[in-house]
């Protein structure tokens, strides 16, 4: 056996160089964060310290909503211009051209700082921008993808309809070809952030004669086009996070098409896989909720010493740890270059199932103070999470649908009748 040559793969000095480069990247990123944002007080700093908000779907005044968007935009621009907004993106589109390791290091570092919430960009950057990048025509990629990563533009996902949710391939919004344009008519529903969006990722039926999965075309659609009407819907928290979107003879140039005509189902699948993989981070806020619950268990008068509550707490903490380890394994698969697959559905299901139990136990511990606002820190705020969990169990694929995917496509069980 010959010794590994210096400078070839397997040469340990290459690993050392990479480590040094990552360390220096991290030092610079730390300098950037220190210069612009304070460090976060840990969720468990002390009872009564900091913001007690438990849900991003909480009701907000118009001024608070405006502030949320402006702060998110300010932060995204600052981060992007400093080179940390799209770390793994291609340099020709303004990305950093760096590796998943750089992204992970920055993410871990940033978690220690009180950066503004950028939830308004979750779908935009997690689903819409990757689909445009992967399937868009070059001028549409140039028009949207960089500006979306800089936070200048926001995207929304126009998939679900009143008659097509779990079975999204059953959609009936029509796209009819007219020369170099398409004419769009129909309705979407539950479209998160559409009221802030500049561009939508639209699935529409382009061929009524083909089997349902083969007659769909995907488009990027500017939300300012004549004939698009966005109407916000109120959730049970009182917040307005999603919308109905109506299309009335909307004319869209063919250059906005993503992928081939009638091949939109392939685009949809890549988007849904990315959506389900979002759960591998702490996109659902499980870590924070579990920490808050642990803290509550040590407060006098909140049943933290009740053996049944303690048993449920142990189950929650164990489940959260299992999810973290599974996420690390998924991270490893991604680093090895494997795309997200049906197994990622486990994260969405595991997160929402764990959050359901967290909300239930919090409700049992708090009793009436979860639903009556006494002004006491960290109590009524749980009400928003209790009212948000059912929506989380539906958004991005319901628990039942996730179970079907796991059963049929991961475990190989017989298909449902």
Ligand X SMILES: Cc1cc2nc3c(=O)[nH]c(=O)nc-3n(C[C@H](O)[C@H](O)[C@H](O)COP(=O)(O)OP(=O)(O)OC[C@H]3O[C@@H](n4cnc5c(N)ncnc54)[C@H](O)[C@@H]3O)c2cc1C
Length of the chain as a residue count? 417
Q: Per-residue string for binding with ligand X, 187-226, x by CB under 6 A?
A: ---xxx----------------------------------
CA distances for 1 relative to 4, 5, 68, 287, angstroms:
9, 12, 61, 48
Listing DSSP states for 225-260 in one string gives STTEEEEEE--TTB---EEEEEEEEEEEEGGGEESS
Which one, 61 or 415, has the nearer CB to ligand X? 415
Which one, 138 or 211, has the nearer CB to ligand X? 211
Stretch that binds ligand X, among 60-68, 209-217, 320-328, 399-407 (CB under 6 A): 399-407
At residue 171's C-alpha, the angle toward residues 169 and 175, to 5°, is: 110
Least distance from ligand X to the Cβ atom of residue 182, Å? 19
Binding of ligand X at residue 391 (CB under 6 A)?
yes
Which one, 268 or 361, has the nearer CB to ligand X? 268
Least distance from ligand X to the Cβ atom of residue 348, Å? 11
Stretch that binds ligand X, among 35-43, 48-56, 357-365, 390-398 (CB under 6 A): 390-398
Strands (E), 159-223: 174-178, 181-192, 199-205, 216-222
User: Judged by CB under 6 A, which of 44, 139, 166, 318 binds ligand X?
Assistant: 166
Binding of ligand X at residue 240 (CB under 6 A)?
no
Q: How far apart are CA 358 and CA 366, in angstroms?
A: 12
Least distance from ligand X to the Cβ atom of residue 241, Å? 6
Which one, 157 or 345, has the nearer CB to ligand X? 157
| Count of residues that interact with ligand X, criterion CB under 6 A | 21
Q: Which of 79, 161, 193, 275 is catalytic?
A: 275
Binding of ligand X at residue 123 (CB under 6 A)?
yes
Tokens 């025509």, residue located? 137
Strands (E), 42-180: 155-158, 174-178
Least distance from ligand X to the Cβ atom of residue 159, Å? 3
Q: Is 275 a catalytic residue?
A: yes
Residue nearest ligand X by beta-carbon distance = 165
Burial class (CB in 10 A: 0-12, 13-18, 19+), 347: buried
Which one, 88 or 166, has the nearer CB to ligand X? 166
Least distance from ligand X to the Cβ atom of residue 97, Å? 30
Closest CA to 239 of 377, 121, 387: 387
Q: How far apart are CA 240 and CA 391, in angstroms?
A: 13
Binding of ligand X at residue 395 (CB under 6 A)?
yes
Helix axes 264-277, 345-366, angle to 10 degrees: 40
Stretch that binds ligand X, among 139-147, 247-255, 324-332, 400-408 (CB under 6 A): 400-408
Q: How far apart are CA 166 and CA 391, in angstroms?
A: 14
Closest CA to 93 of 124, 130, 121: 130
Binding of ligand X at residue 400 (CB under 6 A)?
yes
User: Judged by CB under 6 A, which of 56, 124, 157, 352 binds ligand X?
Assistant: 157
392 secondary structure, DSSP code = H
User: Judged by CB under 6 A, which of 398, 406, 407, 410 binds ligand X?
Assistant: 398
Least distance from ligand X to the Cβ atom of residue 409, Å? 13
Which one, 235 or 302, has the nearer CB to ligand X? 235
**How many CA atoms, within 13 angstroms, populate the side-chain half-sphere of residue 386?**
19
**How many CA atoms, within 13 angstroms, populate the side-chain half-sphere of residue 243?**
19
Least distance from ligand X to the Cβ atom of residue 199, Å? 13
- Contact positions vs ligand X (CB under 6 A): 123, 156-157, 159-160, 165-166, 190-192, 242, 391, 394-398, 400-401, 404, 416
The residues assigned a catalytic role are 275
């Amino acid at each position: 056996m010959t010794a590994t040559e210096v400078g070839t793969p397997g040469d340990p000095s290459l690993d050392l160089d990479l480590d040094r480069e990552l360390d220096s990247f991290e030092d610079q990123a730390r300098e950037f964060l220190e210069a612009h944002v304070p460090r976060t007080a840990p969720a468990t700093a002390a009872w009564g310290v900091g913001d007690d908000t438990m849900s991003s779907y909480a009701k907000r005044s118009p001024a608070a909503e405006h502030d949320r968007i402006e702060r998110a935009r300010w932060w995204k621009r600052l981060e992007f211009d400093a080179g940390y907004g799209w770390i793994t993106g291609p340099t020709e589109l303004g990305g950093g051209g760096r590796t998943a390791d750089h992204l992970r290091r920055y993410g871990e570092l940033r978690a220690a700082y009180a950066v503004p919430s950028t939830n308004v960009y979750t779908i935009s950057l997690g689903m819409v921008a990757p689909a445009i990048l992967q399937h868009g025509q070059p001028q549409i990629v140039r028009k949207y993808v960089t500006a979306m990563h800089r936070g200048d533009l926001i995207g929304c996902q126009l998939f679900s309809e009143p008659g097509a949710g779990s079975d999204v391939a059953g959609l009936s919004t029509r796209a009819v070809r007219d020369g170099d344009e398409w004419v769009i008519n129909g309705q979407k529903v539950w479209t998160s952030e559409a009221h802030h969006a500049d561009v939508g990722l639209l699935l529409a039926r382009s061929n009524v004669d083909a089997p349902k999965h083969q007659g769909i075309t995907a488009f990027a659609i500017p939300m300012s086009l004549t004939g698009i009407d966005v109407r916000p819907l109120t959730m049970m928290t009182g917040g307005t996070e999603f919308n109905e979107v109506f299309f009335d003879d909307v004319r869209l140039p063919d250059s906005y098409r993503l992928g081939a005509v009638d091949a939109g189902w392939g685009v949809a699948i890549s988007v849904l896989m990315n959506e389900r993989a979002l759960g591998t981070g702490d996109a659902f806020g499980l870590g924070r909720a579990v920490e808050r619950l642990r803290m509550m268990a040590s407060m006098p008068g909140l049943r933290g010493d009740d053996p049944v509550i303690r048993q449920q707490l142990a189950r929650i903490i164990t489940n959260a740890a299992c999810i973290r380890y599974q996420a690390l394994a998924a991270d490893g698969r991604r680093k090895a270059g494997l795309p997200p697959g049906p197994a990622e559905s486990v994260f969405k299901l595991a997160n929402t199932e764990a959050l359901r139990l967290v909300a239930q136990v919090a409700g049992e511990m708090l009793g009436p103070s979860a639903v009556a606002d006494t002004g006491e820190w960290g109590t009524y705020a749980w009400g928003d999470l209790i009212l948000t969990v059912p929506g989380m169990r539906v958004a991005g694929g319901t628990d039942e649908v996730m179970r079907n995917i796991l059963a049929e496509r991961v475990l190989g069980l017989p298909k449902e009748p």
